[in-house]
Structure 1
Amino acid sequence: MPAARESLLEAAGAALCARPWPSVRMVEVAAAAGVSRQTLYNEFGGKAGLGSALVRREADRYLDGVDRALAAPAQAAERLAAVAEWTVRAARAQPLVRALLTGSWDADLPAAGRRAPAPGELARAVRDRAAAALTPGEGPQRCELAVRLALSYVIAPGEEPGAAELLRLLRQLSAPTRTAGVR
């Protein structure tokens, strides 16, 4: 039942936005999705399974946004800045994405479960996607640097950086220094 499954995940996500995960009731999620509670249990096995699927879905949605940024018709540096900007926006808007990227889970969120990627795995997934989307000279390492730069804005929030600011910082960080090789 793909439609029921997606409806249940949407309802669970909406419930999580409204209140902490421990307060989310399965009967309310099922009712909001327009399915029976038995359907919810058939799909996910229980609240832990629903929470784990919700976390996995948010990881997939984050990576889909990375793919969109990397597929944009722009120079490599602009695409990397777009990945960084997407990372900051997604983490600030969605607590599950922030937890996935930082590894900082609190009691208000569902447990990550076995299927959720650890922060390092997620960063490597972004790097690997960049390697597939960019030419070798454009560098997947620069994409990992872009994500790690974005994570600094997530962990120590300040004014949200725009793409132009991230692009400027990325260019500074990846530019060769004048003193390189000079002794």
Structure 2
Amino acid sequence: MARRARDDLRTEVLDVAERLAVAGDRLSMPEIARRVGVSRQTLYSEFGDRDGLAAALVLRATDEFLDRIISALDGEADLHAAWVAAAGAALTEASVNPLVKALLTGAPSAFGDRSGPIVAAATERAAGYLRRSRPDLPDDDVDLAADTVTRLVVSHLVLPGGPAELVAEKIATVVLRILRV
């Protein structure tokens, strides 16, 4: 029961922190404690400090975002359709989720630039998907395709190249050409 209460508190704190971050407000431990109805010490005990809270928020947003992309990949049997779905999911999610967009594009936010770890995690998951679904592909091609798809998605978030559906189709085509399939 105590673990569930702690998890619920953690979720509530991160929800409040996300609302503040999306609004462009500074993540203030006293303000978050006030809004959640706990002591500052409770927050410091759970997250360490403001940077620890920001890291937890980034981790949660990253995991949720990447889970949606992998789900889109896994939802298609055809490799081209899978990459269209994944790129489309990434572009759509980032367009409707201001926290994800800010994190991916390196836009100024309440907790600084944290896009590097997200790009690295996205690249790693994309490569993992390819290795699972197509173990016959050369590792160098998989690594290149995974890195390219991630950077193309981020590039299109910063400077959109058209409707998400069209961009997703183009990105999928590039990935398959890299993989020579």
The question of a shared fold, defined as TM-score above 0.5 by the shorter chain, is answered with yes
For 2:160, which of 153, 157, 167 is the aligned residue? 157
**1:157 aligns to what SS in structure 2?**
coil
CA RMSD of aligned residues (A): 3.0
**1:8 aligns to what SS in structure 2?**
helix
What is the match of residue 3 of structure 2? none
Q: What is the TM-score of this pair, normalised by structure 2?
A: 0.73
Cα distance change, pair 59–118 in 1 and its aligned pair in 2 (3 A): closer
Count of residue pairs the alignment pairs up? 168
Residue by residue, what CA displacement relative to the aligned partner does 1:10-43 show, whole Å, maximum 9, x if unpaired?
11112222x3242x43233224334333211211
- Segments of 5+ residues of structure 2 without an aligned counterpart are 1-5
Is 1:76 the equivalent of 2:79? Answer: yes
What is the match of residue 26 of structure 1? 29
The 8 Å contact of residues 33 and 43 in structure 2, kept in 1 or not, is answered as yes
Runs of 4+ residues deviating >6 angstroms: none
The 8 Å contact of residues 70 and 83 in structure 1, kept in 2 or not, is answered as yes
Q: CA deviation at 1:132?
A: 4.0
Q: In structure 1, how many angstroms separate the alpha carbons of the residues matched to 2:174 and 2:113? A: 36
What is the match of residue 179 of structure 1? none
Identity level (%):
28
Q: CA deviation at 1:3?
A: 1.9
Q: In structure 2, how many angstroms separate the alpha carbons of the residues matched to 1:175 and 1:124? A: 17
Q: What is the TM-score of this pair, normalised by structure 1?
A: 0.72
Q: CA deviation at 1:49?
A: 1.6
Q: Where do 1:1-183 residues align within 5 Å?
A: 1-17=6-22, 19-22=23-26, 24-102=27-105, 104-106=106-108, 108-111=109-112, 117=117, 119=119, 121-136=120-135, 140=142, 141-162=144-165, 166-167=168-169, 170-171=172-173, 174-175=176-177
